[in-house]
Amino acid sequence: MKAPMRVTDLDHVVLRCRAIDQTLEFYQRVLGLTEERRLDSIGLIQLRAGRSMLDLIPMEPNDGGEAGGNLDHFCLGIETDDIAALARQLQEMGVEVLGEPQERYGARGTGWSVYIRDPEGNKVELKQVQSV
């Protein structure tokens, strides 16, 4: 069976952090990532990691992330002509689709994406890459 889209890259990974200030300092000082954007309303800090991004968000008390760890989700850049049709096709294939497609910010700027869940319960964001 042919996949309903083509994955082009890893757009971003989101980590829930118990100690966000120390985690931010680690990724900046030790690994050399640079801060690109903040959304103070949700405590989000976005760091540039080459062509991809690493997002840090605060972990809420008793929050182990989506699958029991601190990974909130990861995002794959995809090529598809119609993200809404893709979401419907994935549902028909038995994939759990979480909500409707929306415009969201990622490593390549704002674009349409949809969340799904893999068989292990991980949340995966599929984000439409923009044609250049």
What pLDDT is attached to residue 130? 67
Residue 89 lies in a domain: yes
What pLDDT is attached to residue 111? 92
Q: What whole-number distance in Å separates Cα of residue 61 and Cα of residue 46?
A: 22
Residue 83 lies in a domain: yes
Residue 95 lies in a domain: yes
Residue 35 lies in a domain: yes
Task: Tell me how crowded residue 117 is: count the other CB atoms within 10 A of its CB.
Answer: 16
H helical segments located in the chain: 20-25, 83-92
For residue 78, list its beta bridge partners.
7, 128
Residue 1 lies in a domain: no
What pLDDT is attached to residue 68? 56
Residue with tokens 């840090």: 56
Q: What is the CATH number of the domain that holds 78?
A: 3.10.180.10
What is the mean pLDDT for each group of 10 consecutive residues in the chain (132 residues)? 82 90 88 93 94 90 61 91 93 93 92 89 87 44
Number of domains in the chain: 1
Residue 68 lies in a domain: yes
Range of the domain at 117: 6-128
